[in-house]
Amino acid sequence: MKTESKPPLTEALAKLLELVLSARDVLIGTHLNPDGDAIGSALAVSLWLDGLGVPNEVICHNPPPGYLEFLPGAERVRLAPERKGHDLGIVVDLDALDRLGACRPYFEAVPQLVLIDHHQPHEMPGDLRIVDPASPATASLLVDLFVTADATEFTPNLLPVAPQRGLQGRPSKSVTPDMADCLWVGLVTDTGSFRFPNTTAHALHQAAWLLEHGADIARVSDEVYLNRDEQSVRLLGEAIHRMKTDCEGRIAWVVLPPELYEELGAKEEHTEGIVNEILSIRTVQSAFVLRAGKHGKVKGSLRSKGGLDVAKVAQEIGGGGHKNAAGVTIEGSLEEAEAIVVRALREAIRC
C-alpha cells in the first residue's frame, strides 16, 4: 500500500496519550451488569496499558458474566481496587456515573477521569471525554484510538478523513491477539453479529482488521453464543411461556419475578438474549424484559426494529441507550413498571 502522510492526532487523543503516559497507576472501570462491549473494552484498555508499561487495575460492580470469562485478562476484574493512589481513571461504555454502582466512589476520588463511550451521555462526566454516539460500540472507538495512537495512517471516525483508509497493510504496534479478541467481542455483541442497524461499513472494515491482528472469531463465537448454562435455557423457556403482547402483536414483553430466578437457580446474567428472542417475532416492533433490581427498583431492557426509537422512550421513563436498544431503571413494583413501559411504547407506536 502506498505510504501516505498520517493525520495529526485530535486534541482529545493527544491529551489521552499525555495522561496515560504520565500516570503512575490507572483505574479502569465500566458499567454494572457488564456486557460484551463493556468487559471487552475495559480489558482491551488494560492490555493496552500493559503494553505501554503503565500499571493498571480493572474494577466493576459485577464480575464478568460466565460467557465472557474466557476473555484474556478476565481474571483481573475485581469488585474493588487492590491498591490505592491511582492518579488516572478510565471508564468505558458508560453514559452516567451512577452506572458504576458501588465502584463510583473510587472513580470520583481520582484526580483525572477519562470517559470513552458511544452512548449519548446523560451527564458530562470526566475531565476528558471521547464520545461518539454514531459509533456502533465502544470497542469500535478503541480500535480507532489504538491504531491512531500507533501513529499509523489509519483514520478513525473521529478524524475528518475517509474511514476505510489505512485498514489494510498496516500492522499495529500495540494491538495484540488478546486485545483483538476483547475488541472483537465488543464489536460483535453490540452489532448483534453485524445484524443490527448500527452496523457500519467502517465497523466491517474494523472486523477484518481485527481478524488480521489475531482475533479468534471461531472460539469467540463458540464461547459467546454456544456456551449457555442450563439455567439460561430454562429461563428462556419460561420467559417465552410468560410472554405478553399488545397493540395487535406489535409490542411483546416478559416480566421475570425474583421467585422465578430462585426456582431455576438462574442469575441476572442469564437474562441476556431473551429480549432479542421476543423481538424476532414477525409482528413485533418493540420488545422488553423487566426484572426486579435492588432497593425497590425495576430494571428493563428494550429493543426495537426499524424506525422506532426506544432510546427516546427510555429517556422519558428513566433510562437511555440507542435507537434500537435501550435500558431503563424504574422506581416501584414490577407491575407498576410494566404498566409504565407498556403505556410509553403504546404512545410511541401510536396504537
Q: What is the mean predicted confidence (pLDDT) over 255-270? A: 93
pLDDT at residue number 306? 86
pLDDT at 190: 94
C-alpha cell at 280: 424476532
Centroid of chain to Cα 236:
22
User: Considering only CA atoms, which of 116, 111, 125, 118 is closest in space to residue 146?
Assistant: 116
Q: Residue 29 in contact with residue 59, Cβ under 8 Å?
A: yes
Above 80 in pLDDT, residue 156?
Answer: no
**Cβ atoms < 10 Å from Cβ of 230:** 11
User: What value does the mean pLDDT take over residues 180-184?
Assistant: 98
pLDDT band at 231 (very low <50, low <70, confident <90, very high): very high
CATH 3.40.50.880 for domain 11-223: no
Q: Which triple of cell numbers denotes residue 321?
A: 441507550
pLDDT score, position 166: 42
56 in helix, strand or coil? strand
What is d(CA 132, CA 156) in angstroms, rounded to the nearest whole number? 11
Domain 230-349 belongs to what topology? Diaminopimelate Epimerase; Chain A, domain 1 (3.10.310)
Q: Do 202 and 163 touch, CB atoms closer than 8 A? A: yes
Which residue matches cell numbers 473521529? Answer: 158
pLDDT at residue 161, rounded to an integer: 30
Phi, psi angles (nearest 5°) of residue 345? -70, -35
Q: Which residue has the higher pLDDT, 109 or 168?
A: 109
User: Which of the two residues, 127 and 288, has the higher pLDDT score?
Assistant: 288
pLDDT tens digits for 267-306?
A: 988 998 899 999 999 999 999 999 998 778 999 999 999 8
Domain ranges of the chain: 11-223, 230-349
**How much of the chain, in percent, has pLDDT values that exceed 90?**
70
> Closest by alpha carbon to 261, among 287, 285, 239, 286?
239
Residue 1 confidence (pLDDT) above 50:
no
Pairing of strands 319-322, 325-331: antiparallel
The band of 155, judged by pLDDT with boundaries at 50, 70 and 90, is very low
